[in-house]
Structure 1
Amino acid sequence: MRRRLVHRIPVRVRHYWKLLATCAAFVVVCAVVFSTVRVTPLVTSSATTADRVRQNIAGTTALFDPAVAHRITVTFRDEDYQRLLDEFWEEGEKSFLEADLTVDGTRVPSVGIRLKGNSTLAGLTRNGEARQRGFGPGRPPGGGQEPGPGGDAPVGGFPGGDPAGAPGGGARGGAGPGGFARASLKAEEPETLPWLIRFDEFVEGRRYQGHREIAVRVAGMGGGSTVLNEAVSLNVLAAADETAQRYAYSSFTVNDRPTTARLIVEHPDEGFADTLGGDGVLYKSLATGQFTDQGDDPTSYADDFKQITMKGSQDLQPVINLIRWVNTSSDADFDAHLDDHVDVQALARYLAVQNLLLNFDDMAGPGRNYYLWYDLDTKKFTVVGWDYNLTLTGDAKQGPHDASRMGGRFPPGGGAAPEGMQPPEGMQLPEGMQLPEGMQPPQGMPGPGGDTAGAQGRPNGFGGHKLKERFLASAAFKPVYESAYRDLYRRIYADGTAMNAVDSITTVLSTVAGYDQQKTATDAEQLKTLVRQRTEHLATDSVITSG
């Protein structure tokens, strides 16, 4: 019997079994001896651009022509959609499903679409039930508060918000009263959900007018029902010659569901990077990122940054070097050498415009909504803004040196949350989201990902960013920031650009199929009130009048 079993082994194996055994033993020894040695990849290839484009669909109309009412239809199988929902509900995974797309009459088969967003999706319900990691299991949209009239959002937003507006009495744009209003999202209404459309997910190398991805935006917290605030912000950014993604409004039809009017925005992918000029690497900050020194191992930063371009020819090391320097340099060194690492003028303008647009969810916000562009020629970083659906929703009286926070302004240096401002009992924060400094969760309330506030060494503050904080705290850079602020105030508010943008965008939106006249009129009027108040208030601020 034993001989028969032996003969079943191939002849070559039987002849060279000693050599094979020696090789196997060598592998085991290497695994044991060298398992603690970290291997650092060496990049030897030259700088290169994105994946090879094999097909670029021309279409009939420029996709991001903001003066045109566009048309988008999406068709997919319901069983694929239910599978996508199952994976998101059970595992938190946002996987792609295959769909057929038609853009302004041009058919694009087999595109990939997936849900997009973090805190935006926290209020998503399915068959009336919220996800376990949403704002509390089984709780209604709005973080556990009862929905307002029509079920759109909880009345008053976060408790403690001024009924007449945000804390401080300023008007709000786009969301109605309160500090934490949000759109109600239902899985049964895919035409209202936030989507990322990827043209090459199932067809390699395909682009649509040079775009690999586009985002179908949703209002989320505080953005009204039309996302008018984000469109206006992108409009004024472009008018002020600041880096901004392109946008347009489009009708949006999913299968045989009702048509809705949606804002579509250029996604910061490889194609967007090509518009930034020169040779460089684009890195996306993740919602879980903290901008803290975590050592030399690039894998330790996997939850902080994602490299978008030049994979294989460049790596994350420049970002690691920047993080370490910002976190360890002395104040004198920071003031003297920041310009060696970062484009100081561009940083000042980025921070000024976030304040002007009342964007609490910028690079220091809960979503960490920014990109880093590393110029390979100058060896300097530039901060690139992204995700402006929470702009123009805070306190119109926020000053140039006030810190933006959810629901309104906080004094310089942070300070405590407004008296009585507490999240709803039982509320669970979305993944990556943290509470404002000085704001304590109700007893027993889990923090992001189920951890209590401050767990795993994460700060308790609602965001925060060392580069932003050190720059704004430095007396050396105060003149640079204030000069940028004055210039951008004139370009955005004093010249009437923001007010004119509201009117022109509303006019285009009124021609888009699925547009809601009443909601658009309400959003536009609230936004105009905020723009008017902000223009008037800042006109008397010493930063503006001193220039």
Structure 2
Amino acid sequence: MRRRLLHRIPVRVRHYWKLLAVCAAFLVACAVVFDTVRVAPLVTSTSDNDGDQIVEDIAGTTDLFDETKAHTITLSFKDADYQRLLDEFWDEGEKEFLEADITIDGTRIDSVGIRLKGNSTLAGLTRNGQSRPNGFGGARVGAQPGGQGGQMPQRNGGANGNGNGGPPAGGFPGGGGGFPGGGGFPGGGGARPGGGFGMASLKAEEPETLPWLIRFDEFADGRRYQGHREIAVRVAGMGGGSTVLNEAVSLNVLAKAGQTAQRYAYTSFTVNNRPTTARLIVEHPDEDFAESLGESGVLYKSLATGSFTDQGDDPIDYADDFKQITKKGSQDLQPVIDLIKWVHSASDADFDKHLADHVDVASFARYVSAQNLLLNSDDMAGPGRNYYLWYDLKTKKFSVVGWDYNLSFSGSATTGPHDTTSMGGGRFPGGGNGGDFQPPAGMQLPDGMQPPAGMGGGMGGRGGFGGNKLKERFLASKAFTSTYDDAYRALYKKIYAGADALNILDGITTVLGTVQGNNAEKTKSDAETLRTLIVQRTEHLAGDSVIAGG
């Protein structure tokens, strides 16, 4: 019997059983020894150099981000590739690149990479009339009766008690997967069935309307276009209506006020011979953008799935929170981890005394005050966590870089310098930091409805609606009130007092009117809405004690 069983074992296994036994024992030993050992990313050098080499920089015919001119972009790709991209996004939630040919202002570039861009932005995306089964918008597995699902990405510690940190299971009453009743933002960007926060529905059958990231070196290493590796094609239907005028105005006024901002332009946009639309394109904060921030530093992107919370010492535990953009291999995430741990552990006295050792306080004051002035409801404390961190390797200090202003000018014109503008986090009316949730202007809660627990200033946490401990502690500290007020007053004078914002709006509207595919009626309507808000905000802040007191 024993010999018969032995012969059932393959000959090669019988011949090499000793070697196999040794290998198995080694694997078991590794599992035992290394089971509790933290595996950290390997930094191979302490230099501050980037390894990416540019081998081709296409000059083009016109400065892509000359905002005073109308531009043209055409894209062409195989429909079969596009359907595979949609399949991957629908089934796995992955945003893969597909190969496309692009022509920019008459210059043709073959084999660029394009992919869908955004998180909550894509909440309203439908395909053949159906929402993505496991996405933000539309009915799906786990959705409760009475709504569109409305779940945010599942993370631990959600504020709504259902474990995923998003709106209540089933969304708010009235559907839409976002705020109740389709409560909108100025400019016609209200939440609609199948949509998310303040956004319109998007159709996969209309690729000319979708948000895209265009990468020039995805299929050709080292290629750039006018020094840019990536550009973003922004989506309409958010706080700026169909024209995204609010984002263009925000980027323009910030740049003219001497603040860090991405460049932008308006362009006609044609995909596979479909109808031409007018789209806003924005410089993407990539390796090349980082060069404008300083001589030597590291750029980190805050992810929408993340939070600004202490999760220990292991960098792997922060993989869903921050993405390192530059100097990979020579630098790592440790400075960000150290900052987070210090912000959460420092006493109030220590925070006041040593914040300047970790953060460029003057720069941070300008960033925070700018978000309030521009009524940006989705800044570093918003649900989208829309910001980057720049770590200066010489000063060892952080600065915050703003990004994604399509929900700027989406609050009340009477919001004061010390009132909250974010959907999560920040300072609330009366100096509070929680409890008094104020929905953006135009957003109405149903009669008798109370915001879910945790939807006040404490909306932070993994997968919640937002919140950022650094911003909250900075605004709550009296030690930095004068610094913030000084920055606020100076930026008010540059943005509003001299009618700069109004003049910039007029200039942008004029350029947009020359772009092929522009809808003149919608542009006029969006411009009038934004003009009214800017005038009201200018007049209201002129009488505020922070402005008048200067």
TM-score range, shorter chain: 0.7 to 0.9
- Partner residue of 2:482 out of 479, 482, 486: 479
Structure 1 residue identity aligned to 2:470:
L
What's the TM-score, normalizing by structure 2?
0.84
Where 1:277 maps in the other structure, the secondary structure is coil
- Unpaired segments ≥5 residues, structure 1: 148-152, 167-171, 425-433, 440-452
Structure 2 residue identity aligned to 1:326:
V
Match of 2:365 in 1: 348
Match of 1:545 in 2: 548
Residues 272-327 of structure 1, C-alpha deviations (whole Å, 9 max, x = no match):
00111110000000011111110111000011100000000000000000000000
Structure 1 residue identity aligned to 2:114:
I
Q: For the structure 1 residues 279 and 83, does the alpha-carbon distance in structure 2 shift closer, same or farther, using more than 3 Å as the test?
A: same
Distance 2:60 2:255 in 1: 24
Q: For the structure 1 residues 113 and 504, does the alpha-carbon distance in structure 2 shift closer, same or farther, using more than 3 Å as the test?
A: same
Residues 349-406 of structure 1, C-alpha deviations (whole Å, 9 max, x = no match):
0000000000010000000000000000000000000000000121000000001145
Match of 2:136 in 1: 134
Shift of 1:52: 1.2
Distance 2:309 2:258 in 1: 31
Where 1:346 maps in the other structure, the secondary structure is helix
Match of 1:33 in 2: 33
Structure 2 residue identity aligned to 1:283:
Y
Contact 1:67–1:508 (8 Å) recurs in 2? yes
- Partner residue of 1:527 out of 509, 526, 530: 530
Distance 1:348 1:263 in 2: 28
Distance 1:106 1:371 in 2: 31
Question: After the TM superposition, which segments of 4 or more aligned residues of structure 1 sit over 3 Å from their partners?
Answer: 1-10, 16-28, 39-42, 138-147, 156-161, 172-181, 405-410, 416-424, 434-439, 457-461
Match of 1:415 in 2: 435
Identity %: 68
Shift of 1:73: 0.3
Q: For the structure 1 residues 372 and 181, does the alpha-carbon distance in structure 2 shift closer, same or farther, using more than 3 Å as the test?
A: closer
- Partner residue of 1:237 out of 254, 260, 265: 254
- Partner residue of 1:505 out of 503, 508, 516: 508
Task: State yes or no: 1:289 paired with 2:290.
Answer: no
Contact 1:180–1:406 (8 Å) recurs in 2? no
Q: Structure 1 residues 66-75 or 412-421, which shifts more?
A: 412-421
Q: For the structure 1 residues 29 and 474, does the alpha-carbon distance in structure 2 shift closer, same or farther, using more than 3 Å as the test?
A: same
Contact 2:138–2:149 (8 Å) recurs in 1? no
Where 1:215 maps in the other structure, the secondary structure is strand
Task: State yes or no: 1:264 paired with 2:267.
Answer: no
Distance 1:541 1:275 in 2: 35
Structure 2 residue identity aligned to 1:59:
G
Match of 2:126 in 1: 125
Residues 37-70 of structure 1, C-alpha deviations (whole Å, 9 max, x = no match):
2233453412212511121111111111101111
Q: Structure 1 residues 172-181 or 389-398, which shifts more?
A: 172-181
Shift of 1:118: 0.9
Q: For the structure 1 residues 485 and 8, does the alpha-carbon distance in structure 2 shift closer, same or farther, using more than 3 Å as the test?
A: same
Q: For the structure 1 residues 121 and 534, does the alpha-carbon distance in structure 2 shift closer, same or farther, using more than 3 Å as the test?
A: same
Match of 2:167 in 1: none
Q: For the structure 1 residues 145 and 230, does the alpha-carbon distance in structure 2 shift closer, same or farther, using more than 3 Å as the test?
A: farther
Match of 2:61 in 1: 60
Task: State yes or no: 1:360 paired with 2:361.
Answer: no
Contact 2:190–2:199 (8 Å) recurs in 1? no
Distance 1:460 1:118 in 2: 12
- Partner residue of 1:199 out of 205, 213, 216: 216
Distance 2:400 2:334 in 1: 17
Distance 1:460 1:176 in 2: 22
Shift of 1:18: 5.5
Q: For the structure 1 residues 378 and 262, does the alpha-carbon distance in structure 2 shift closer, same or farther, using more than 3 Å as the test?
A: same
Q: Structure 1 residues 137-146 or 286-295, which shifts more?
A: 137-146
Distance 1:254 1:85 in 2: 16
Distance 1:310 1:62 in 2: 27
Q: How does 1:23-172 map to 2 (within 5 A)?
A: 25-45=25-45, 46-132=47-133, 133-137=135-139, 158-159=180-181, 172=186
Shift of 1:348: 0.2
- Unpaired segments ≥5 residues, structure 2: 141-146, 151-170
RMSD: 3.5
What's the TM-score, normalizing by structure 1?
0.85
Where 1:207 maps in the other structure, the secondary structure is strand
Residues 318-340 of structure 1, C-alpha deviations (whole Å, 9 max, x = no match):
00000000000000000000000
Where 1:476 maps in the other structure, the secondary structure is helix
Distance 1:271 1:513 in 2: 29
Contact 2:416–2:544 (8 Å) recurs in 1? yes
Q: Structure 1 residues 1-10 or 132-141, which shifts more?
A: 1-10
Residues 215-269 of structure 1, C-alpha deviations (whole Å, 9 max, x = no match):
0001343220000000000000000000000000000000010000000000000
Contact 1:175–1:393 (8 Å) recurs in 2? no
Q: How does 1:184-195 map to 2 (within 5 A)?
A: 184-195=201-212
Contact 1:215–1:266 (8 Å) recurs in 2? yes
- By relative contact order (CA 8 Å, sep 6+), the higher-ranking structure is 1
Match of 2:397 in 1: 380
Where 1:393 maps in the other structure, the secondary structure is coil
Distance 1:273 1:458 in 2: 28
